[in-house]
Amino acid sequence: MSDCLFCKIAAGDIPSAKVYEDELCCAFRDIAPQAPTHILVVPKEHIGSCAEITDANAALVGHIFTVIAKIAAEEGLTGGYRVISNVGADAGQSVPHLHFHILGGKRMPDQMV
């Protein structure tokens, strides 16, 4: 999608602090971190949110979760971490391109799961 921030970051057209990249997805540090480690993992293909996950892209989403586990290990998140994907306005999704937040490096609040 030509007017999508995370499509542009994934394509390298907008700079980011990338920590991982392969042919299907990439990961970069969140510009406004909410934890000592706060990384976003996004598919290179435009998918709007979890609401658009289908049988056709489920393997890609599964692959992203293997990448999440690798990144968490590389970041040394041995104490645990949280994976979040906001979907739509009520959840506060601000970028309409599927992304998974990896948050770690501190004890997460007990509220909001």
Region of residue 46 (left: phi > 0; alpha: psi -120 to 50; beta: else): beta
| Contact flag: residue 73 with ligand AMP (CB under 6 A) | no
Rounded to the nearest whole angstrom, what is the least distance from the CB of residue 4 to Zn ion in the complex?
3
| Contact flag: residue 46 with Zn ion (CB under 5 A) | yes
Rounded to the nearest whole angstrom, what is the least distance from the CB of residue 76 to ligand AMP in the complex?
21
Figure out which of the listed residues 19, 53, 83, 95 binds ligand AMP, where binding follows CB under 6 A: 95
Which residues are catalytically annotated?
99
